[in-house]
Amino acid sequence: MKVLISTYPFAEYDRSPIKLLEENGCEVILNSSGHKLSADELASKIENVDAIIAGTELLDRKLLSNAKKLKIISRVGIGLDNIDFTATDEKGIIVAYTPDAPSLSVAELTIGHILSLLRYIDTSTEEIRTGVWKRHTGHLLSNKRVGVIGVGRIGKLVIKILQSFNTTIVANDIKPDFDFAQKYNFKFVSKEELLKTSDVVTIHIPLYKKTYNFISDSEIDLMREDSILINTSRGNIVDENALLQGLISKKLAGAGLDVFSEEPYNSARDSKLAQMKNIVLTAHMGSCTRTGRYLMEYGAAEAVVDFKCGRKLKNLAKID
């Protein structure tokens, strides 16, 4: 069984996922490019492979038409917006993913973004590097009202962590888990109420047709003056031009982004967000802790081995 590992890096800190594949009779083909593969690069590699262990590379109908033998895509991570499920269904390609593995890593980075914005950590770091010594008076996270949009795996972990900061939490979700809300003492509210009343808004929803530009001009207009917006989910969920205008007008006090509409993000090409002083930017690294990365990689490799051996897969992915 030929297995293309298209994501990069892979097994950088622990070779166990590769060892698992090889011990189960898989021929492993690594992405040795040192970067995320372009569509053309990937197209030249997938014609004769049986499995792909994928990252965020675009796997659309055009690309998958080159995959003559492909039987399974095993996603390293949780996002599935890069996969054309209509095409995979038509071709009989199974899609697996690792939804639990990166959740805590993303949740912790979300809290990091919030704290950096409230206490000017990123701003002070840049100032000190340029010889400026300035003490900024920020805000406590304690007693803030935090709105969590999307209470799935990651949203629930964010809420659990926020409990220790003595925050008031409100949430919005299309399928509210009222038992969880009762246990952790928060309430579900409408999207509009959440935006109007929250000091911090953090987004944890998947990207699909209905959530494209889920936060745009009208939503930012609803938000409180001096509130902050965090997006560690998917770039196109937030309209970056609307966000930029919200920061320029100082309607928003700040924003934290780990994801962008085009990645890798290029400030010269994509927008002026990187020029703003009241924003924290990270390079889609929410899942990038050593533990989180290992769990994702091993889980993705395990799914390929389970498929090869005829065992039931733990996490099959389907998009409604």
d(CA 87, CA 247): 39
Residue 319: pLDDT above 90?
A: no
Give, for 4, the enclosing helix (H) or strand (E). Answer: strand 2-5
Residue 16: pLDDT above 90?
A: yes
Give, for 50, the enclosing helix (H) or strand (E). Answer: none
d(CA 61, CA 57): 13
Residue 285: pLDDT above 90?
A: yes
Q: What is the mean pLDDT of the chain?
A: 95
Residue 219 C-beta-side C-alpha neighbours within 13 Å:
23
Catalytic residue among 113, 204, 284, 293: 284
Residue 263: pLDDT above 60?
A: yes
> Is the CA virtual torsion 170, 171, 176, 177 positive or negative?
negative
What is the mean pLDDT of the segment spanning 238-263? 96
What is the mean pLDDT of the segment spanning 163-173? 97
Question: Is 290 annotated as catalytic?
Answer: no
What is the mean pLDDT of the segment spanning 63-71? 94
Q: How many of the other CB atoms lie within 10 Å of CB of 134?
A: 9
In this prediction, residue 270 has a pLDDT band, given cuts at 50, 70 and 90, of low
pLDDT of residue 318: 75
Catalytic residue among 90, 192, 262, 263: 263
Question: Is 119 annotated as catalytic?
Answer: no
In this prediction, residue 307 has a pLDDT band, given cuts at 50, 70 and 90, of very high
**Rg of the Cα atoms in the chain:** 21
Residue 271: pLDDT above 90?
A: no
pLDDT one-digit tens code per residue, 86-106: 999 999 999 999 999 999 999
Residue 320: pLDDT above 60?
A: no
SS3 category, 163: helix
Catalytic residue among 57, 234, 297, 302: 234
* Domains identified in the chain and CATH numbers: 2-101+289-308 (3.40.50.720), 103-281 (3.40.50.720)
d(CA 242, CA 245): 5
What is the mean pLDDT of the segment spanning 28-49? 92
pLDDT one-digit tens code per residue, 178-196: 999 999 999 999 999 999 9
Question: Is 284 annotated as catalytic?
Answer: yes
Q: Are 171 and 194 in contact (CB under 8 A)?
A: yes
